[in-house]
Amino acid sequence: MASTFKTTYLKKIRPQLKDELKLSSIEAVPKIEKITINTSSSDFKSDKDFLAKTKEWLTVITGQKPQETKARLSVAGFNIREGEVIGLKSTIHGDKMYDFCQKLIGLVLPRLKDFQGVSRKHFDNQGNYTLGFSEQIIFPEIEYDKIGRIQGLEVTITTSTPDPKHAFALLQALGMPFAKEEEIKTK
């Protein structure tokens, strides 16, 4: 069964964006390809309980088990050895991706203290948008007693368009609450 957020995108937002962006084909309309959620900590290598708890809450947020990211090189200055776990990431596609996006826009962002909208400056030159959160407890399904400690995370929304302006139009049409005063950067 398709997500209602996905159905709204396909039936309403997609044709509207085709006209608004003056695109020749409905297939040229930008879309979200994937959402990547990641977190890291230098304590993962020494505190296996903390790593397990982080895996648990990341699984609860995304609906799938996260993948461990390991150091590719040893860096003496950071006390990191090659092969040590330094982070966790989860990449979601399909209906889970649309459900997560709906949760992010409708539940998580409004829960932020003194929220004035997300920055328009976080687009890269490939049309992807990245949000950083200083604590994971803004997600409604996280139970404070089970997380171990407060930890930050990063959410990257990967779009199909290389143009940041088209990506902005897509996210705005999906309901992303952008701040009013900033301008988006162009190539």
Provide the β-strand partners of residue 23. none
Q: Angle, to 10 degrees, between the axis of helix 48-62 and the axis of helix 94-103?
A: 90
Which of 1-5, 114-118, 155-159, 176-180 is most confident?
155-159
Q: Domain holding 28: CATH number?
A: 3.30.1440.10
Is 177 in contact with 118 (CB distance < 8 Å)?
Answer: yes
Q: Is residue 183 a part of any domain in this protein?
A: no
For 119-167, the pLDDT digits (tens) are 888 888 888 999 998 888 888 888 777 777 888 899 999 999 888 889 9
Q: Is residue 48 a part of any domain in this protein?
A: no
Give the chain's end-to-end CA distance (angstroms, integer): 39
For 88-119, the pLDDT digits (tens) are 999 999 889 999 999 999 888 888 888 888 88
* Residue-number span of the structural domain to which 109 is assigned: 4-40+89-174
What is the total count of domains within the chain? 1
Q: Is residue 153 a part of any domain in this protein?
A: yes
Q: Could you tell me the pLDDT band of residue 187, with boundaries at 50, 70 and 90?
A: low
2-18 mean pLDDT: 86
**Any idea which residue has 């976080």 for tokens?**
122
Helix (H) or strand (E) holding 173: helix 164-174
Compute how many other C-beta atoms are within 10 angstroms of the C-beta atom of residue 24. 7
- Single-letter residue type at 66: P
Provide the β-strand partners of residue 87. 40, 69
Least Cα distance to 176 among 120, 132, 125, 114 occurs for 120
CA–CA separation, 86 and 47 (whole Å)? 11
